[in-house]
Amino acid sequence: MLQSKLPHVGTTIFTRMSQLATEVGALNLSQGFPDFASPQPLLDAAMRHLAAGHNQYAPMTGLPRLREQVALKVAGLYGRAVSAESEVTIVPGATEAIFCAVQALIRPGDEAIVLDPCYDSYEPSVQLAGGRCVHVPLNLPDFSVGWQRLRDAITPRTRLIFINSPHNPSGALLSRADLDQLAALIRDRDIYLISDEVYEHLVFDGAEHASVLAHDELYARALVVSSFGKTYHVTGWKTGYVVAPPVLSAELRKIHQYVNFCGVTPLQHALADFMAEQPQHIVELPAFYQAKRDLFCDQLAGSRFTFTRSPGTYFQLADYSAIRPDLDDVAMSEWLTREHGVAAIPVSVFYQQAPADMRLVRFCFAKREETLLAAGELLCRI
Ligand code: PMP
Ligand code: GLN
């Protein structure tokens, strides 16, 4: 009998809820992806590069012209001059990057600290490297970091801390002061960071994204992960990048070259064209998504859900205590999908151990106006 290396892992909640939404014909506000078209010039560029014959392997580290664009962006937004050659790696998706980064950092017996609720791929990546995740819950209700709890969780075996800002599923943001606290905490310790910044451009109400890329001390021991999928409305392209100091990039690349070797060539060309030709896209992104958040929240305000507007990401949490306090959040998400035609994601699945009285579901508002209005109407009827 084969002994599973991941005995507690099943099909992810994202797959299950999207399947259920399709099965029952519900509006799918569960798995995070846009239901609107990707930018036409980006699609045109992809077709152009396919037709031009850019269909063979890309360099293992990514097309130089795309790495250059990433380096320019990092310099422009975060004030860091990074080498496109030795510090930027193009990867087939942030998920692959996280997996490879973990394999590079974690040895058997090592501990990695995750802040719950956290993205579902972190823990299996650590387990497959022979390590163990130590779960530190974020403070409720604002999902801020409990610094004393984090300090208490550090042991001589701690090798890695994951941070994720803007945060999936809560939308919470880390501030520059938070990054300073973190730097003080790991100073003089042999601890590395994976900073999951896939929603870096989705910050609202005038807030600025506090990137590890703008923090000298943290950057020195970090791998910063981003995803073109979120930024350019192409989650299915599974293309992302990692920025890390040369030594860490070199270790990441040793793994990446045997997991996937390289990302998809014509898509990398298309992204490089688009980044060069449409620099305003990322500037306009916060307002674009804030309008969607507000449209959805204005609808939700007429329902019995309670919420505070999400500060970032394309997710909105909603508390359903006033509606079905008898249901846990998995049952609530299924009930919403089957009985009310709107699919959501339960928040407890992002936890090792969610608080028993937590009554939160996550809605994705990366949707067309008509989808958000229709969903709002259904949710207001409950
Ligand atoms: N991290 C977080 C927090 C995410 O929400 C996602 C998106 N599913 C990823 C990583 C993975 O991104 P990608 O689709 O580029 O693999
Ligand atoms: N990041 C997406 C979400 O949180 C899901 C990606 C996936 O399906 N693995 O909804």
pLDDT single digits (tens) 100-142: 999 999 999 999 999 999 999 999 999 999 999 999 999 999 9
Ligand 2 atom having least distance to the Cα of 168: 4
Q: CATH assignment of 13-31+281-380? A: 3.90.1150.10
Q: Which amino acid is at 188?
A: D
Q: How confident is the model at residue 356 (pLDDT cuts 50, 70, 90)?
A: very high
Confidence band, pLDDT 50/70/90 cuts, at residue 371: very high
Confidence of residue 312 (pLDDT cuts 50, 70, 90): very high
Ligand 2 contacts CB of residue 31 (under 6 A)? yes
User: pLDDT band for position 75 (50/70/90)?
Assistant: very high
Residue count of the chain, please give it. 382
The answer to whether 154 touches 191, Cβ cutoff 8 Å, is yes
Residue 37 confidence class, pLDDT cut points 50, 70, 90: very high
Contact 343, 17 (CB under 8 A): yes
CA–CA distance, 177 with 279 (Å, rounded to integer): 29
Residue 14 C-alpha to ligand 2 middle, in angstroms? 6
Pick the closest to residue 192 from 103, 259, 123 (CA basis): 103
How many Å separate Cα 68 from the centre of its chain?
Answer: 23
Q: Which numbered atom of ligand 2 lies nearest the CA of 121?
A: 9
Sign, Cα dihedral of 41, 43, 48, 53: positive
Q: Which residues, other chains included, contact 323 with Cβ-Cβ below 8 Å and sequence gap of 6+?
A: 304, 305, 382
- Over residues 237-249, mean pLDDT: 98
Model confidence at 339, in pLDDT bands (50, 70, 90)? very high
Residues 291 and 316: their CA atoms lie apart, in Å, by: 13
Domain ranges (residues) in the chain: 13-31+281-380, 41-277
CB atoms within 10 A of CB 163: 23
| Predicted TM-score (pTM) above 0.95 | yes
Which of 119, 164, 364 for a ligand 1 pocket mutation test, highest count of atoms within 8 Å of Cβ? 119
Give pLDDT, residue 187. Answer: 96
Mutational pocket test of ligand 2: of 11, 12, 14, 120, the residue with most ligand atoms within 8 Å of the beta carbon: 14
pLDDT classification of 214: cutoffs 50, 70, 90: very high
Query: For the chain, where are the alpha helices, taking DSSP H only?
Result: 13-24, 40-51, 64-78, 94-105, 122-128, 147-153, 176-186, 216-219, 228-231, 246-259, 265-277, 280-300, 329-340, 369-380
Give the model's pLDDT for residue 267: 98
Is ligand 2 within 6 A of the CB of residue 335? no
Q: Is the CB of 313 under 6 A from ligand 2?
A: no
CB 62 within 8 A of CB 267: no
Span from the CA of 30 to the centroid of ligand 2 (angstroms): 9
Q: Which ligand is nearest the CA of 313, by number?
A: 1
14 Cβ closer than 6 Å to some ligand 2 atom: yes
**What is the whole-number distance in angstroms between the Cα of residue 33 and the centre of ligand 2?**
8
Q: Give residue-wise pLDDT tens across range 256-288.
A: 999 999 999 999 999 999 999 999 999 999 999
Task: Say what the pLDDT of residue 254 is.
Answer: 98
CA dist 134 and 116 (Å) reads 10
What integer is the mean pLDDT of 87-104?
98
Interval 166-207: pLDDT, tens: 999 999 999 999 999 999 999 999 999 999 999 999 999 999
How much distance in Å is there from the Cα of 125 to the middle of ligand 2? 16
In this predicted structure, what is the pLDDT of residue 129?
Answer: 98
Average pLDDT, the chain: 97
CA distance to 46, 143, 302, per residue, from 269 (Å): 7, 38, 45
pLDDT digits (tens, 9 = 90+) for 283-309: 999 999 999 999 999 999 999 999 999
Is the CB of 227 within 6 Å of ligand 1? yes
Residue to substitute in 168, 314, 345 for testing ligand 1 pocket (most ligand atoms within 8 angstroms of CB): 168
Per-residue buried b or exposed e for 69-84, using 16+ beta carbons within 10 Å of the residue's own CB? bbbebbeebbebebeb
**pLDDT category, 35, cuts 50, 70, 90?**
very high
Angle, helices 13-24/329-340, rounded to nearest 10 degrees: 20
pLDDT (mean) for 89-93: 98
How far apart CA 71 and CA 242 sit, in angstroms, is 11
Q: How far apart are CA 342 and CA 367, in angstroms?
A: 13
Please enumerate in sequence order all residues whose Cβ is within 8 A of that of 91, keeping only pairs 6 or more positions apart, or say none: 62, 97, 100, 239, 240, 241, 242, 256, 260, 263
- Across residues 36-46, what is the average pLDDT? 98
CATH class belonging to 41-277? alpha beta
**DSSP conformation letters of 130-176:** T-EEEEEEPBTTTTB--HHHHHHH--TTEEEEEEESSPTTT-----H
Task: Write down the pLDDT at residue 274.
Answer: 98
pLDDT of residue 131: 98
pLDDT at position 82: 98
In the three-class reduction of DSSP (H, G, I as helix; E, B as strand; rest coil), residue 254 is classed as helix
Q: Indicate the pairing of strand 240-243 with strand 111-116.
A: unpaired
Contact 248, 192 (CB under 8 A): yes
